Amino acid sequence: MDANLAKTKVTALAGDGIGPEVMQATMRVLEAGGAPIEWEMAEAGAEVFKKGSVTGVPRETLDSITRNGLALKSPLETPVGFGGKSANVTLRKYFELYANIRPVRELPGVITPFTGRGIDMVIIRENVEDVYAGIEHMQTTSVAQCLKLMTAPGCERIIRAAFSVAKAEERKKVTCATKANIMKLTEGMMKRMFEKVGPEFPEFKQDHIIIDNCAHQLVIAPEQFDVIVTSNMNGDIISDLAAGLVGGLGIAPSSNLGDHAAMFEAVHGSAPQIAGKGLANPTALLSAAIMLLRHISAFDVAETIEQALFITLAEGKNLTGDLSPRGHGVGTAAFTDQLIANLGRTSNLPSRNYKQIELTAWPELTAHSEPNTRELVGIDVFLETDLRSEELGKALEMIAEDTPFRLNGVSNRGVQVYPPTGGQTFLVDHFACRFMLKHPIPLDHSSANGQPEISYLVQRIGTKFSWMHIEKLQSFDGKDAFERPQGEG
Ligand code: NAP
């Protein structure tokens, strides 16, 4: 390599299972290709959990990534039965790696039912919000709840990230995929933000698609997609689906970008069945390392290594078992040797023209806009009871008498059951009881307006029922800031 090229320090996490094997192979290819990287090895995953860590990520590892701002990570096992949260999720959240970038491109020699369709897209998944915030509570012994939190800045920065990727990769179209038709406030926020931010980028075609149709279209006509931006859970699912179109998780890379750090990884797990046998395919981690090289602007080295990978796959000589006809696969080391031997050769598939992805620093985004008027219009009280809905509704109407509220209705799992609608709702012991204020109360940030009225009603409800939680119902500039249950008039 060019001795004058300054080296960038990168934290390397060898990980679990096949992790150390694919990491070693990747490092060998990068070294041979002249990558200007100096590795700093660090630990995370199963062994760390076994030592009693709840996060699976020791302080020294966090410090190393904080110092370097860059990590290449092999798969980490999430132990079942001991340890705490997933070490992968810990790393994503600790470094606020909010943008998960998943390229999906047809690779030469990797034959799938979609070969020849020219699939070449990138999926941008919001990586830290949504139901993955992990805010879950049992409401009763038989009812579980998970909060789906989506924020305006969270939506804005992932949408801006999608346009940054589109620019960096000279893409033509950005598609926003949401479930805004059902979750109008959460998923709808992402759609609205896309419509608000999109006009700043007129050079790209833009459209919105409902996520279930997106999954369908990905299978029917995947070549229509260029950049897809979506929320966390949608992205989790469709990015795996898309990876399946071009050869599966075993060859899929991803990057996790934030303002202060970036982490590059294979999408697959630690494949414990083949761990230690020297059989693992390092393509996914190597492809993630190629993304890392582009991230540090080592574009030429990235292209040299990518072309060596393409030609190795295209020629089909010395491929690992997962990419070869049964009985013809070689081990990780022989595949790596072949990759190294092919450095300097070019394939028929050109590398894309890449530039550096420029993320907008998120603290500067002030998507938060205060309405001119904000009012408290009611509350939802979630309570646990075995009463029938008719009985419950009547009891709550009596409770609300001589309070500032009136009972608007009672719903069960999001469907109105009182006043009855005639529907055939299956009932569980968890009811949402909507009380509307007879006279809305103006709110401002500093005042405790509405507190005495709410306390009075809740205290009265508490004498008869066990309540689980309360939601304030607000209106912003005269517009309801809440959804109505199915069946509410
Ligand atoms: P997996 O590790 O991806 O393995 C599933 C199967 O895919 C393997 O048994 C193997 O198939 C094949 N495979 C995956 N990577 C391969 C490679 N590089 N080369 C050749 N074959 C490969 O999925 P899993 O079994 O569900 O998960 C195992 C562990 O990994 C779990 O502890 C999970 O929590 C963790 N995990 C970590 C990450 C991450 O760190 N980002 C992601 C996913 C899962 P054959 O058996 O047919 O050879």
Domain ranges of the chain: 1-112+246-358, 374-480
User: Atom 27 in ligand 1: which residue has the minimum CA distance?
Assistant: 269
How far, in Å, from the CA of 271 to the mean position of ligand 1?
4
Q: Which atom of ligand 1 lies nearest, measured to the CA of 22? A: 18
Please tell me the predicted confidence (pLDDT) of residue 102.
98
pLDDT computed for residue 488 by the predictor: 72
Quick: pLDDT tens for 288-323. 999 999 999 999 999 999 999 999 999 999 999 999
From the CA of 82, how far away is ligand 1's center (Å)? 20
Q: What residue owns the CA closest to ligand 1's atom 39? A: 75
Which residue among 82, 256, 268 is best mutated to probe the pocket of ligand 1, counting the most ligand atoms within 8 A of its Cβ?
268
The Cα-based distances of 275 to 19, 27, 45, 69, 451 in angstroms read: 8, 18, 15, 29, 59
Residues of the chain with pLDDT under 50: 1-2
- Given a contact cutoff of 8 angstroms between Cβ atoms, the answer to whether 288 and 264 are in contact is yes
374-480 sits in which CATH class? alpha beta
Task: Pick the atom of ligand 1 nearest to 18's CA.
Answer: 18
Q: Give yes or no for a contact between 11 and 71, defined as CB atoms under 8 angstroms apart.
A: yes
pTM: 0.94
- CA dihedral over 287, 292, 297, 300, signed as positive or negative: negative
Residue 190 half-sphere exposure, CB side, CA atoms within 13 Å?
A: 37
Q: Which candidate, 397, 405, 432, places its Cα nearest to that of 416?
A: 432
Binding pocket residue ranges, ligand 1, CB within 6 Å? 18, 22, 75-78, 88, 249-250, 265, 268-274, 280-281, 284, 322
Ligand 1 atom nearest 321 alpha carbon: 20
**pLDDT, tens digit (0-9, with 9 covering 90-100), for 61-94:** 999 999 999 999 999 998 776 556 788 988 999 9
Q: What is the pLDDT of residue 363?
A: 65
CA 270–ligand 1 middle distance (angstroms): 5
CATH code, 1-112+246-358: 3.40.718.10
Nearest CA to ligand 1 atom 1: 269
Q: Which of 274, 279, 281, 326 to mutate to test the pocket of ligand 1 (most atoms within 8 A of CB)?
A: 274
For the record, the structure tokens of 108 come out as 């030469």
Residue of the CA atom closest to atom 44 of ligand 1:
269
- Find all residues with CB under 8 Å of 208, minimum gap 6, and list them: 175, 176, 177, 178, 180, 191, 194, 195
3-state secondary structure of 289: helix
